[in-house]
Amino acid sequence: MTSRSLHPAPGGQPATSDTRLPVRHLPRPATPGQWLYRERFMLARRVLQISVLVLFYGTLHAGWTLLGRPLLTGNLSSARLLGTVPLADPFAVLQMLVARHALATEVLLGAGMTLLIYLLLGGRVFCAWVCPMNIVTDAAAWSRQKLGVDTSRDLVRLPANTRYVALVMALVISALAGVAAFEAFSPIAMLHRELIYGAGIGLAASLGIWLIDTLVLHRGWCGHLCPLGAFWSLLGRVGLLKVAFDDASCTRCGDCVKSCPEPRVLHFAEIARRGMVASGECTNCGRCVAVCPESSLGFDLRLRIHPAALPGGRSVCPAPGDPS
């Protein structure tokens, strides 16, 4: 058994090793090609996020069609693909159900369809790959880095679990008020409305979130407050697409933890034991995969990932609180 600790050191940084291979870091990209490769997941996410917006916009304002059918109509809460396939946000539908709204079968089918897609991909794939607010919050994270604002200068401290309280509150208020509470005030819906329909206060709301994330609380919106992110996190645990982890090649350099918007999901003892990032709060953004100098992380299907074959099926160093 190795003497190496799998616990991240205090402050979220992994412990150093005396038994693993020497720690290395990826060099800064020296050519445009290297930069494109390093940023491949970020670029792919932006292409998809912007494409979804462009499809809504083009269908509404330029009448885009495919095979004579409108490409994508509606909004992020309730949409129709090719005039036929219904898509609906299951969290919005859940709020409407607890608010006792009568819903058309098509809306329920649309929610079921969306649920199926994200259950296969992993719930928070929506957050990193589709949600337009992610562009704003990633921009805020970049601004913090450029301004040298570290988490010790956060003006507010909140547990990441606050978003689950927001989720419950959204449902309770929906039930009491008889309206879908989060939908009424969602900055995501506001941003989408302003970008597609040119109406509302979505850009002002986005500026507010950018300011909060930049100056008040690191990853304040997506990482602490958004009830929609919390909803997808609950479903994310059962998603099929996972970030697989190879414990043997990992040197605990910590670059993945530093790059991750939800760093607590990269608890080394846990991911070594499971062979993957199992937490539903992982957004499948791919940042950790892109920065790992040892290729110890990579996307794979859950069914192909096997937990570490350690004595008793346990990690070499139990996570805090684990029974020994």
Give contact residues for ligand SF4 (rule: CB under 6 A).
Answer: 14, 243, 250-256, 259-262, 265-266, 277, 282-288, 291-294, 296-297
The CA distances from residue 261 to 9, 122, 154, 220, 258, in Å, are 18, 16, 16, 11, 8
Q: What span, in angstroms and rounded, lies between the C-alpha atoms of 266 and 12?
A: 9
CA dist 84 and 72 (Å) reads 10
Q: Which is nearer to ligand SF4, 22 or 311 (CB)?
A: 22
Cα separation, 10 vs 8, in Å, equals 7
For ligand SF4, the closer of residues 4 and 314 by Cβ is: 4
* Shortest Å distance, C-beta 300 to ligand SF4: 12
CA distance 261 to 265: 9
CA 12 distance to own-chain centroid? 19
**Distance of alpha carbon 5 from alpha carbon 130, whole angstroms:** 37
Q: Are strands 85-88 and 241-245 parallel, antiparallel or unpaired?
A: unpaired
Shortest reach from residue 287's CB to ligand SF4, in Å: 4
Minimum distance, C-beta of residue 89 to ligand SF4, in the bound complex (Å): 21
Torsion, Cα 54 286 87 131, to 10 degrees, reads: -50
H or E segment and range at residue 297: strand 297-301
Nearer to ligand SF4 by Cβ, of 88 and 260: the residue is: 260
Q: How far is the CB of 26 from ligand SF4 (least distance, A)?
A: 9
Nearer to ligand SF4, 87 or 250 (CB): 250
Nearer to ligand SF4, 108 or 319 (CB): 319
Tokens 């309770």 belong to 172
**72-74 and 85-88 strand pairing:** unpaired
Measured from the CB atom, is 255 or 270 closer to ligand SF4? 255
With beta carbons less than 8 A apart as the criterion, state whether 216 and 156 touch. yes
Q: Which is nearer to ligand SF4, 99 or 292 (CB)?
A: 292
Min separation Cβ 81 and ligand SF4, Å: 27
CB of 23 to ligand SF4, least distance (A): 7
Minimum CB separation of residue 182 from ligand SF4 in Å reads 23
The residue among 81 and 256 lying less far from ligand SF4, judged by its C-beta, is: 256
Q: Which amino acid is at 321?
A: G
Closest listed residue to residue 32, CA positions, set 24, 43, 48: 43
**Least CB distance to ligand SF4 at residue 239 (A):** 11
Residues linked to residue 241 through DSSP beta bridges, in sequence order = 301
